[in-house]
Structure 1
Amino acid sequence: MHADPPVTVDVVQRVRRGNEQAFEALLEQIVSTASTFEGYLGSSVFRPNHNDDSEYRIVFKFDRLENLKRWEHSKVRQQFLTQARNLTVDAGTFSIITGLETWFTLPAKPGMLPPPRYKMVLVSSLAIFGIDRLLMFLPLGWLAQLPSVLRAY
């Protein structure tokens, strides 16, 4: 499973002035088509905040890297990219994120990298430890009524 992890693809694209409606229509087709591919988990579109901004951020999630690669190398996606070149300022940026970094995706902040792994491990460990300590205070007498397989924890 580690060799083929879940992935998040972060796409940043700047649209040429006057092409916003055409890009929105194309984007709708892209998301709709991507959703038909195996392993597609969803996507989010972050549109420009104001009229002076032309930057779109599109986040795609796939269950496995292999399924993402199938989508990326598909003929239909290549056709969409060709169409998008006519509507955008440049080729845009594409980032593939795997593992715990996907928990810390910052889609509204262009160019920001996820925190270092040691910080993610520290935050996750503290959260798990805190939940474990809280569970110790629960009255656990009702667990005696459960089958031994469920009580083993």
Structure 2
Amino acid sequence: MSSATGDHVSEGATKIIDRIPKAGQEQQLEAAISDIIDAMRNAYGLNSVHVVRPSLPHQPAYRVICTFDSDVHLKAWEASDDHVRLVTAADEFTAGEPQRTWLTGLETWFTLPVSANAGARPPAYKMAITTYIALFPTILLVHAALAYVPEFGALPTILGNGIAVAIVVVLMTYVIMPRFTRLMAFWLYPPKH
């Protein structure tokens, strides 16, 4: 069971829900998750939704990963009557409480793509190298662009650096890293053999 809507990386909010099925009710839970996804496709601001099936014994849960263009739209979906009704139905087939994780901003730089191994994270050195490769030219380009703004040179150093850092952070969070980590997925999340 795998589903995807949209083909771009989330730049807003991501929610990950892990549901372990009650014994003997795997098919019912899978059907309930499918119903949730069908309704979610009509939610405003949905970027993508993916399901990773259980892989026993290490990953006993169905993992649903949904991304929205903003936290506001994700919360609107969660507050909708359809969401409440369908999640209540899925809870009937779920052992214990589902585990829910919300990710926004910098947390989503290295979130797991669907094609990667469930639960795997890139090693810290790969995340550091990837961030450096993206960050270094971004800083150079922002400083070069700001050099063409005459008023920028007249600002106190601390204020000028503060503005440059703010621009770099916004670019890295919303423009560069979501795309660059997808580009580098072959290295960050190599397939298991």
TM-score, normalised to structure 2, is 0.55
Higher-Rg member (1/2): 1
State which of 68, 74, 80 in structure 1 corresponds to 2:80: 74
Root-mean-square deviation (CA, aligned residues, Å) is 3.1
The structure with the largest helix share of the pair is 2
Say whether the 8 Å CA contact 2:36–2:87 is kept in structure 1.
no
Alignment of 1:85-100 (within 5 A): 85-100=91-106
Q: 1:124 to 1:53 in 2, by over 3 A?
A: closer
Other structure's SS at 1:10 match: strand
Q: What's 1:84 paired with?
A: 90
Q: What's 2:107 paired with?
A: 101
Other structure's SS at 2:56 match: coil
Q: What's 1:138 paired with?
A: none
* Overall identity of the aligned pairs, in %: 31
Alignment deviations for residues 18-45 of structure 1 (CA, whole Å, 9 cap, x no partner):
1111111111111111110110001111
Report the Cα distance in structure 2 between the residues aligned to 1:53 and 1:43, rounded to whole angstroms: 19
Alignment deviations for residues 25-79 of structure 1 (CA, whole Å, 9 cap, x no partner):
1111111111101100011111111378631111000001110011001111111
TM-score, normalised to structure 1, is 0.68
Report the Cα distance in structure 2 between the residues aligned to 1:56 and 1:63, rounded to whole angstroms: 23
Q: Which runs of 5+ in 2 are unaligned?
A: 1-10, 139-193
Q: What's 1:45 paired with?
A: 51
1:24 aligns with 2:34: no
**Runs of 4 or more off by more than 2 Å in structure 1?**
50-54, 119-131
